[in-house]
Amino acid sequence: MARIAVIGAGMGAMAAAARLAVAGHRVVVYERGGTHGGGVGRFERDGFRFDTGPGLLRLPAVYRDLFVKTGKQTLEQSVELTQVDPASRHLFADGTDVRLPNASRAGVVQALDGAFGAGAGERWSDLVNRAREVWDATRRPLLEEPLRADWQVLGRDPYPVAPVRRGWFGGLFGRGEAGPPVLADVARRELKDPRAAALLESYALAHSLDPRTAPAAATVLPYIEQTFGTWYVRGGMRALADALHERCRQRKVEFRFAAEVTGIVEKDGRAAGVELADGTVAEADAVVAAVDPALLPPLLGGQEPWRNGDVRPDLGPGSGTPGRLTVFLALRGARPEGTAHRTVIHTPDREAELAAIFGDGYDLREPCPRPTVTVLRPDDPTVRPDEDHEAVTLTAVVAPQGPVDWMDGTAAEEDADRLITAAEAAIPGLRDRLLWHEVRTPAHTGMETGARGGAVPGPALAGADGRFLRPANLTRLPGLYLAGGWSHPGGGPAHEGMSGALVAGLIVEGEDWRGSQ
């Protein structure tokens, strides 16, 4: 039985801890905050409950596998899962309103033909068929295996499309060098209709990706959603974090909260424990760091845990990854029958939105007057005080703390008001129903999770010479492993669960382990 120290209590950390404990190891989790779940948190007030992180689950098979392999109760016996149907409603500036059914390719084709005109659905279907090739080519090396030493092979974009010719300023001007297409190229060239292009690009933006730089392989994101479905956990995603925490406790994982790790102990050339802020040292045979890898060098006395040629994180003051502006709405009045669980209200000016989020370098940016807003309206009696009220969450992807000063409460309230104004397109009479609202910015996310700038990591992707890969779960220091959304295979609850499975496999099976067969 080995002693395992886990730094952080997020979803990836707990996924690794549960698997390691069931394999017979003694696992202790050290969390600097006061609770588990990382970015999967909860805000409660006056009988209303809101998720502070993601509100929906994709690829639930990741957690089905985790619960089957770590205890007697299955995932469905631990939480109540329902498919969200329609998967999403999309509202565009020209008044177009389209509802996309959950996990129904034929239904999506019919919906897009009806909204955008004949042929739009077929063009979308053809794109998703090509995205399936991306899934088939990358599913195992990106999701089911530790990152290979020859990770450079994943730098080639597997999306089957011809290179594009770029002009001097990156546009499609028909001159200049030919290169692999980015997602925005694919959207324009293959979907034709600007609303369909905006639909495709919205999947990338929702995963913290800039469609102007994300590889064409990002088409796998709508493929995953439309193939495997979108799911809601009764009580919100926090209920899944609670169930995973309870599974860890059942497997005798020990949690120590308000226990900040300030150093990783090395002995005889390997990780041998952790040092805490109070000066105590906890010895261990292996350390799992479920934190942003860029934060590791100070924990290692200034040394970096990567070899030459390894995938490395950005070690600058910010990750360059956007965060989220979230507004919780407590509404009087019942949720109307037939209301979509998720509505995406698209910006009328995508260029202005992307400039506000991603900008050019680490500069101060002006807010987008009308950003893309996602409205979540769950039909769940456990998140509202009674049937005469409704809990609604508004979210927009925004620049992280740094390029924007989210500590400025007045400016944050002004931005939140923009989200509320946009949401009126989906919730008529919204302001008349509003009891109160609560604003959460990337500054809140950073303080609660430790993420630099309050950034929210996206999933790893093939292509772009490997720029969208995450640092490997193995490090140059024997006994030190990486898990969580900032490590391979990237962010989001499903990917974090996968990272935990990969780390547990490496520790239990040995560092030559190549993934489950």
pLDDT confidence of residue 219: 98
More confident call, 411 vs 331: 331
DSSP state of 404: B
Distance of alpha carbon 232 from its chain centroid, rounded?
15
pLDDT confidence of residue 176: 44
pLDDT confidence of residue 168: 43
Q: In what order do the strands lie in the sheet with 480-482?
A: 254-257, 26-31, 3-7, 286-289, 480-482
Taking the C-alpha atoms of residue 509 and residue 70, their distance in angstroms, rounded to an integer, is 16
Q: Which residues pair with 37 in a beta bridge?
A: 10
pLDDT confidence of residue 84: 96
Taking the C-alpha atoms of residue 159 and residue 131, their distance in angstroms, rounded to an integer, is 7
Backbone angles phi, psi at 9, to 5 degrees: -125, 35
**Does residue 516 have a pLDDT over 90?**
no
Quick: pLDDT tens for 499-514. Answer: 999 999 999 999 889 8
Query: Could you tell me whether strands 261-267 and 254-257 are parallel, antiparallel, or unpaired per DSSP bridges?
Result: unpaired
SS3 266: strand
Taking the C-alpha atoms of residue 308 and residue 49, their distance in angstroms, rounded to an integer, is 47
Quick: pLDDT tens for 417-466. Answer: 999 999 999 999 999 999 999 999 999 999 999 999 999 999 999 999 99
pLDDT confidence of residue 267: 96
**Does residue 31 have a pLDDT over 50?**
yes
**Does residue 308 have a pLDDT over 70?**
yes
pLDDT confidence of residue 210: 97
Other beta carbons within 10 angstroms of residue 150's beta carbon come to 8
* Radius of gyration of the chain measured on its C-alpha atoms: 22
pLDDT confidence of residue 164: 66
DSSP string computed for 3-14? EEEEE--BHHHH
SS3 436: strand
Identify the CA nearest to 280 among candidates 306, 299, 308, 259: 259
Q: How confident is the model at residue 318 (pLDDT cuts 50, 70, 90)?
A: confident
* Cis geometry, peptide bond prior to residue 298 (ω within 30 degrees of 0): no
Q: What is the pTM of this model?
A: 0.95
Taking the C-alpha atoms of residue 289 and residue 472, their distance in angstroms, rounded to an integer, is 12
Structure tokens at 238: 């926090």
pLDDT confidence of residue 177: 55
Q: Is residue 472 a contact partner of residue 488, using CB atoms and an 8 Å limit?
A: yes
pLDDT above 70 covers a percentage of the chain that reads: 96
DSSP state of 453: G
More confident call, 517 vs 48: 48
Taking the C-alpha atoms of residue 291 and residue 166, their distance in angstroms, rounded to an integer, is 38
Mean pLDDT confidence for 151-167? 82
pLDDT confidence of residue 489: 98
Average pLDDT, the chain: 94
Q: Which of 162-166, 251-255, 258-262, 489-493 has the lowest mean pLDDT?
A: 162-166
Quick: pLDDT tens for 379-391. Answer: 999 999 999 999 9
pLDDT confidence of residue 179: 75
Q: Which residues pair with 97 in a beta bridge?
A: 91
pLDDT confidence of residue 162: 67
Q: What's the half-sphere exposure (Cβ side, CA atoms, 13 Å) at 349? A: 10
Mean pLDDT confidence for 306-328? 89
Query: Could you tell me whether strands 270-276 and 42-45 are parallel, antiparallel, or unpaired per DSSP bridges?
Result: unpaired
Other beta carbons within 10 angstroms of residue 336's beta carbon come to 10
pLDDT confidence of residue 473: 97
Our separate counts of H helices and E strands in the chain read 15, 22
Identify the CA nearest to 501 among candidates 3, 1, 113, 20: 20
Q: What's the half-sphere exposure (Cβ side, CA atoms, 13 Å) at 452? A: 17
Mean pLDDT confidence for 95-115? 96
Mean pLDDT confidence for 346-368? 83
**Does residue 248 have a pLDDT over 60?**
yes
Q: Is residue 285 a contact partner of residue 4, using CB atoms and an 8 Å limit?
A: yes
pLDDT confidence of residue 517: 63
pLDDT above 90 covers a percentage of the chain that reads: 89
pLDDT confidence of residue 175: 39
**Does residue 171 have a pLDDT over 50?**
no
Quick: pLDDT tens for 468-478. Answer: 999 999 999 99
309: Cβ contacts below 8 Å, ≥ 6 apart: none
